[in-house]
Amino acid sequence: MDNNLLAEAINLTLFGMGFVFVFLTLMVLVTTVMSLLVKRFQPNLNLATTSNIEFSSDIDEKTEAIIKKAIKMHTKT
């Protein structure tokens, strides 16, 4: 019985590690291809960056940086 259990465990290990490698290797490939495609067809996607942040320009950049840090300090701690 115990030997059977051990055999199962070995099987699981072989298949498990194998699958982990297959999966992550596949991710390397797919990710690399994806990055190449993205770089090739530099998309004109109008991707949001900070478009939904309404922040009028009369605040100088340094103040803004200070405030952002303050808010970050507040939210991340």
Partner 1 sequence: MEQFNILWNNTGLYQMVWGQGLMLLVGILLIYLAIVKKFEPLLLLPIGFGAILSNIPGANLAVDGGILHLFYMVGIESGAFPLIIFMGVGALTDFGPLLANPKTLILGAAAQFGIFATLLGAVGLSALGVFDFNLKQAAAIGIIGGADGPTSIYVASILAPELLGAIAVASYSYMALVPLIQPPIMRAMTTEKERQIKMVQLREVSKTEKIIFPIILLLLVALLLPAAAPLLGMFAFGNLMKESGVVNRLSDTTQNALINIVTIFLGLAVGSKLMAEKFLQLDTLGILVLGLVAFAIGTTSGLLMAKLMNIFSKNKVNPLIGSAGVSAVPMAARVSNKVGLESDPHNFLLMHAMGPNVAGVIGSAIAAGIMIQFLA
Residues forming contacts to partner 1 in the complex (CB under 8 A) are 2-3, 5-6, 8-13, 15-17, 19-21, 23-28, 30-32, 34-35, 38-39, 43, 45-53, 74-77
As a whole number of angstroms, the distance between CA 37 and CA 30 comes to 10
31 within 8 A of 22, measured Cβ to Cβ: no
**Least Å from the CB of residue 67 to partner 1:** 16
64 within 8 A of 55, measured Cβ to Cβ: yes
Considering beta carbons, is residue 26 or 65 the nearer one to partner 1? Answer: 26
Tokens of 68: 């952002």
Q: Point out which residues bind a second copy (CB under 8 A).
A: 50, 52-56, 59, 63-64, 66-71, 73-75, 77
